[in-house]
Amino acid sequence: QVQLVESGGGLVQAGGSLTLSCEVSEDTMRNYFMGWFRQTPEKEREFVAAIEGSADRTRYADSVKGRFTIAREDAKNTAYLQMDKLRPEDTAVYYCVAARTRLGATLYEWKYWGQGTQVTVSS
């Protein structure tokens, strides 16, 4: 089974930036769609961003458009989430996800999940 390990979370002031990384086990990342979700105790797990094999094939939640950027470097088996202009409402545990199958134009079968990394944004 593919393993995903997130890193880069931490505490940042509102308006600041963080970069999350997701290392994918084995040399198989090129076969996967990659994405990010986030979750708080008060909210349902929500979609953040996704990226296909091409860097220009990306999708973002409305709440992060213009502020977050998803990227991937398959040669390094790593996906990234660059987060800028962070807001307190961005505080959550962020999960890296991977899928082999797309069930629709915007629906992916997110089969593999990391353990999450905490992002806290102070006001």
28: amino acid identity, one letter: T
**pLDDT tens across 62-116, in order?**
999 999 999 999 889 999 999 999 999 999 999 999 999 888 877 899 999 999 9
Task: Find, among 96, 90, 89, 92, the residue nearest to 34 by Cα.
Answer: 96
Residue range 5-45, pLDDT digits in tens: 999 999 999 999 999 999 999 777 888 999 999 999 888 89
Q: What is the pLDDT of residue 27?
A: 74
Q: Would you state the pLDDT for residue 56?
A: 67
